[in-house]
């Protein structure tokens, strides 16, 4: 699935990029089910780690191709090279979260940031995404999802 767009060598850079982004979205959906809503099995972790590596490598390849092409053409989805770069960085962060050497202090900082909310300006997408992440973490930890601001 991840390399479908490169097997045939007939797609343009925009089509390849959109195909890769769809693969990332599919991966995230599966990741939520296997790693956040359930306890991942050893096999789940192996697939997860393998797919992360493949998605990161494909994203890096696309970034090189996008740069060679002088950027992505205007498109209805509004995706830009910076979006692809951010997605690759997010995949790297996920890899570090699950398989890297994150210190206990850094893990606590991230959890605290998620629980209190993100300091960055909120957009409709980040509000929805942030709330969903908080709910997933709270469900996994067995805690209430009542926002802190509503408590007092």
pLDDT along the chain (152 residues), means of 10: 54 92 96 91 95 97 96 91 95 90 74 67 58 70 53 40
> What confidence score (pLDDT) does residue 149 get?
45
Does 57 map to a domain? yes
Q: Are residues 88 and 127 in the same domain?
A: no
> What confidence score (pLDDT) does residue 148 get?
44
**Based on the number of CB atoms within 10 Å of its own CB, is 38 exposed (0-12), middle (13-18) or buried (19 or more)?**
exposed
Q: Are residues 54 and 91 in the same domain?
A: yes
Instruction: Find the domain containing 133 and state its range.
Output: 116-152
> What confidence score (pLDDT) does residue 107 get?
72
Q: Are residues 69 and 96 in the same domain?
A: yes
Does 69 map to a domain? yes
How many Cβ atoms from other residues are within 10 Å of residue 105's Cβ? 8
The contacts of residue 58 (CB under 8 Å, 6+ apart) are 2, 3, 6, 20, 23
Does 126 map to a domain? yes
Q: Are residues 132 and 82 in the same domain?
A: no
Q: Are residues 43 and 78 in the same domain?
A: yes
Which whole-number Å values give the CA distances from 141 to 38, 84, 147, in the listed order? 11, 32, 15
Does 110 map to a domain? no
């Amino acid at each position: 699935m991840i390399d479908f767009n490169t097997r045939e060598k007939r797609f343009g850079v925009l089509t390849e990029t959109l195909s890769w982004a769809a693969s990332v979205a599919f991966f995230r959906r599966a990741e939520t089910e296997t790693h956040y809503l359930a306890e991942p099995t050893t096999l789940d972790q192996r697939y997860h780690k393998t797919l992360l590596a493949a998605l990161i490598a494909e994203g890096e390849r696309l970034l090189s191709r996008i740069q060679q092409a002088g950027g992505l053409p205007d498109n209805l989805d509004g995706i830009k090279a910076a979006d692809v770069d951010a997605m690759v960085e997010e995949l790297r962060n996920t890899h570090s979260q699950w398989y890297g050497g994150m210190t206990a202090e850094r893990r606590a900082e991230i959890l605290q940031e998620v629980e209190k909310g993100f300091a960055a300006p909120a957009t409709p997408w980040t509000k929805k995404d942030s709330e969903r992440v908080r709910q997933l973490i709270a469900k996994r930890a067995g805690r209430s999802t009542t926002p802190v601001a509503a408590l007092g």
